Amino acid sequence: MSLNILIAGCLPKDRRQIEGVVKKAFGNIPESDPWSVSLVKMGSSWSISMERENQVLSLTAPEDRLRETIAQALGANGTANPPSPLPNVTPAHSRHRVARPVPVMVRSQL
């Protein structure tokens, strides 16, 4: 399986369990279809970014529905294999425009 999983915001002891949940949601993906999944725990929900080639899908999931949310986003039901084409999604880097930082000068009075 070609699945790279990055997890932040949870206890180290919970990482293995979360990785297992994500792997079950993806099912058996072929080596020729590499995926990268980033998960960030935010309170009682997860922020999820799933990426392959030039396609990115971003979503959130309640803590107790992580597997189901990922499987549904892939067009799968339960632990079925994800479909070959991911819905046409604009890459994240072209969706978000970041303004240039403005230099700020601060004078301290002594």
Asked whether residue 38 carries a pLDDT value surpassing 90, the answer given is yes
Asked whether residue 28 carries a pLDDT value surpassing 70, the answer given is yes
- Determine the pLDDT at residue 54: 78
Of 50, 54, 43, 55, give the one whose Cα is nearest residue 10. Answer: 43
Look up residue 99 and give its two tokens.
């303004």
The predicted-structure confidence for 48-107, as pLDDT tens digits, reads as follows 999 988 788 999 999 999 999 999 888 754 333 444 444 444 444 444 444 555 555 556
- Determine the pLDDT at residue 82: 45
The predicted-structure confidence for 40-49, as pLDDT tens digits, reads as follows 999 999 999 9
Buried b (16+ CB within 10 A) or exposed e, 79-95: eeebeeebeeeeeeeee
Domains of the chain: 3-95 (3.30.160)
33 three-class SS? coil
- Determine the pLDDT at residue 17: 95
25 by Cβ neighbours in 10 Å (0-12 / 13-18 / 19+) ranks as buried
- Do residues 1 and 33 lie in contact, with contact meaning Cβ atoms separated by under 8 Å? no
Please tell me which residue, 98 or 26, carries the higher pLDDT value.
26
DSSP 65-109: GHHHHHHHHTT-STTPPPPSSPP----HHHH---PPPPP------
